[in-house]
Amino acid sequence: NAGVTQTPKFQVLKTGQSMTLQCAQDMNHEYMSWYRQDPGMGLRLIHYSVGAGITDQGEVPNGYNVSRSTTEDFPLRLLSAAPSQTSVYFCASKTTAQNSPLHFGNGTRLTVT
Amino acid sequence: AQTVTQSQPEMSVQEAETVTLSCTYDTSESNYYLFWYKQPPSRQMILVIRQEAYKQQNATENRFSVNFQKAAKSFSLKISDSQLGDTAMYFCAFMRKSSGDKLTFGTGTRLAVRP
C-alpha cells in the first residue's frame, strides 16, 4: 500500500519557470490538500479539494494552481516560479470522516533561484 | 481565524526521561479536533496523537499522552521514557469540526533526545 506519493523529491527551478508537483494517493480518500513548510512558520495550507472536480483556496494560494480530475491525483502547478516559493511542499489526504487524520506524502523540496 | 502557538522552538531531554511540549490555541469554536504530528529528519509527517474537544478524557498512545485543558485552550504533549528515535520536530495542529478538514499548524518544537 503506497499511501500518498509525491514526485519529485527535489527540484531546482529558475525564476519564471513553470512546473507541476505530482501527488497521488491509493487510499480512495475524498479529501486532498497541499501545504508548504517554511522555517519558523509551520505548515500552511495552499489549496485543497474535497472530491473530484472540486477545489478551493487555502491560506496561501497565490502563485499556485490545482485541479482534481480524478480521486487519486491532485497536482500542484507553479505557473511562474518565484524565489518566495522556495519551500518544502507536502501533499496530504484523508477521508471525510471528521476525526480522521491527514496522511502525508514525503514532501518535495523546491528551490527557486 | 484560528491560531496555534508553540512557544518552545527547541527542547532537549535525556534518554529515558519525560518531557512536555506546550501548545495553546485560540478559537471561538466549541467543537474541534487537536493533533500532534512528529516530523523526524526523514521529513515524513507522522500522526502521534489526536484529541476530540468534546471528550474530557485525555488521549494516550503508548508513551505519548496529552494534557487537554479546554477552558485554558491548552494541549500539551507528554513523552515518557524518551527514546533516541523521538528526536524530531513536533507540530501541534487544530481543526474545526466545520472547517472542511483544514488544519492549522503551530510553528513546531524541535526536540532533541540526548543519549
Spell out which residues of chain A touch residue B93, defining contact as CB-CB under 8 Å: 43
The answer to whether B107 contacts A42, with C-beta atoms less than 8 Å apart, is yes
Report pLDDT for A13: 96
Alpha-carbon A49 to chain mean position: 10
The pLDDT assigned to B19 comes to 98
CB B111 within 8 A of CB B50: no
Query: Across the interface, do A92 and B47 touch by the CB < 8 Å criterion?
Result: no
Contact status, residue B78 vs residue B92, Cβ threshold 8 Å: no
Ranges assigned E (strand) in B1-115: 3-5, 10-14, 19-21, 24-26, 32-39, 46-52, 60-61, 64-69, 74-79, 88-96, 104-105, 109-114
Res B100: pLDDT: 61
pLDDT in tens, chain B (115 residues): 779 999 999 999 999 999 999 999 999 888 899 999 999 999 999 999 999 998 889 999 999 999 999 999 999 999 999 999 999 999 999 998 776 678 899 999 999 999 9
Residue B72 DSSP symbol = T
CB interface of B with A, residues 14-53, below 8 Å:
33, 35, 42-45, 47, 50, 52
The cell 502557538 sits on which residue? B5
The owner of cell 469554536 is: B29
pLDDT at B110: 96
φ, ψ of residue B95 to 5 degrees: the values are: -140, 120
Kindly give the parts of chain A with pLDDT less than 50.
none
Q: Which residues pair with A52 in a beta bridge?
A: none
